[in-house]
Amino acid sequence: MQTLVIGLGSMGFGAAVSCVRANIQTAGFDVNPDALERFKAEGGQPIHSLNACQNIDCVLIFVVNAAQAESVLFDSNLLAGVNPNALVINCVTLAPSKAVDIANKVQAQGFRYIDAPVSGGAAKALEGRMSIMASGAPDAMADAKPVFDAISEHVFELGDKPGGGSQMKLINQLLAGVHIAAAAEAMNLAASLDMDLHQVIDVISKCAGSSWMFENRAPHIADGDYTPLSSVNIFVKDLGIVTDEASGNDVVTPLSETALALYRQASEAGLGGQDDSAVVKVLAQQSNVTLPGSNT
């Protein structure tokens, strides 16, 4: 199965390398030449234009957002080089309604579509251990199995219609984005009280106030280390999708709105490329709190 991975960022690179490792014939495309070089060094087959592809059986899309996904699919000659009935597996986080739109357009051209947003972070991606929230027709899901096996340790099968995967990702990102901001709010308050921040993490991790994100991100704040695992700008995007999709259905999401405002303030303050936990710096600045690692 000739596979093409489009977008060799942190998640796409891990997926592409995992496919190579599983002996799947894997081409990779990225606009960044350094990413192509890194992929070649791992045994992958770099391609320099989406207009020159041939005989692709499976396209895995790992670009940043819906607009880029639509661009690579519909503004290039990519689909002319893709075999009839090929699989298009879209791993981009996008609105469920957008996933349905894209699926309809892809299927109208004679291809099969799987809505397959992922999670797990760059380290797990590189080990072929991401999680996939997938929905699509049973035959497409069956044919995607070798690729899913190569790149993931969990595949959540969420029905036979595109949109199901993106709905679950939407719910996950709502919670993840609010929980990171809540962890930041808690750590900022703890810092204002001169509490031992590492002790806070030790205790809260054993209590009912804990979350996956608290346990993962609060140490970044206690250590003052904002090297990005996932960036502030990811949540500007993803909580924007949450609040847009919700408000489009007249559904209220006050906590997501509040958290999104914090990520936007962080981004506007020049912190967009830092770790998402850097949202705490907005709170600290507004509260005159000195955090570990800060110079003020």
In this chain, which of 69, 82, 176, 222 binds a second copy, going by CB under 8 A?
A: 176
For the window 94-133, what string marks contact with a second copy as x by the rule CB under 8 A?
A: --x----------------------xxx---------x-x
**84 binds a second copy per the rule CB under 8 A:** no
Work out how close the CB of 158 gets to a second copy at its nearest, in angstroms, rounded to a whole number.
7
Alpha-carbon gap, residue 256 to 105, rounded angstroms: 31
- Cα–Cα distances in angstroms (integers) from residue 78 to residues 57, 74, 94, 288, in the given order: 12, 8, 21, 52
- Cα–Cα distances in angstroms (integers) from residue 32 to residues 20, 38, 85, 199, 240, in the given order: 20, 10, 29, 42, 26
Alpha-carbon gap, residue 89 to 110, rounded angstroms: 14
**10 binds a second copy per the rule CB under 8 A:** no
DSSP per residue, 70-99: HHHHHSSSGGGGEEEEEEEEE-----HHHH
Work out how close the CB of 131 gets to a second copy at its nearest, in angstroms, rounded to a whole number.
6
Work out how close the CB of 185 gets to a second copy at its nearest, in angstroms, rounded to a whole number.
5
**137 binds a second copy per the rule CB under 8 A:** no
In this chain, which of 110, 203, 224, 293 binds a second copy, going by CB under 8 A?
A: 203
- For residue 45, give the nearest of 27, 19, 62 by alpha carbon: 27
Per the structure block, which two tokens stand in for 105? 């357009």
Alpha-carbon gap, residue 116 to 134, rounded angstroms: 4
- For residue 292, give the nearest of 187, 181, 186 by alpha carbon: 187
In this chain, which of 174, 241, 266, 271 binds a second copy, going by CB under 8 A?
A: 174
**200 binds a second copy per the rule CB under 8 A:** yes
Q: Is 251 helix (H, G, I), strand (E, B) or coil?
A: coil
**150 binds a second copy per the rule CB under 8 A:** no
Closest CB to a second copy among residues 67, 251: 251
Work out how close the CB of 220 gets to a second copy at its nearest, in angstroms, rounded to a whole number.
14
Alpha-carbon gap, residue 189 to 176, rounded angstroms: 20
Closest CB to a second copy among residues 25, 97: 97
**213 binds a second copy per the rule CB under 8 A:** yes
Which amino acid belongs to residue 87? L
**281 binds a second copy per the rule CB under 8 A:** no
Residues 221-260 that bind a second copy (CB under 8 A): 242, 246, 249-259
**CA triple 267-273-279, angle to 5 deg:** 50
Work out how close the CB of 93 gets to a second copy at its nearest, in angstroms, rounded to a whole number.
12
169 noted as active-site residue: yes
Q: Which of 98, 124, 169, 237 is catalytic?
A: 169
Phi-psi region of 114 (alpha: psi -120 to 50; beta: other; left: phi over 0): beta
Which amino acid belongs to residue 258? T
Binding footprint of a second copy on the chain (CB under 8 A): 96, 119-121, 131, 133, 154, 156, 158, 167-168, 170-176, 178-179, 181-183, 185-186, 188-190, 192-193, 195, 199-200, 203-204, 206-214, 216, 242, 246, 249-259, 261-262, 283, 286-289
The residues annotated with a catalytic role in the active site are 169
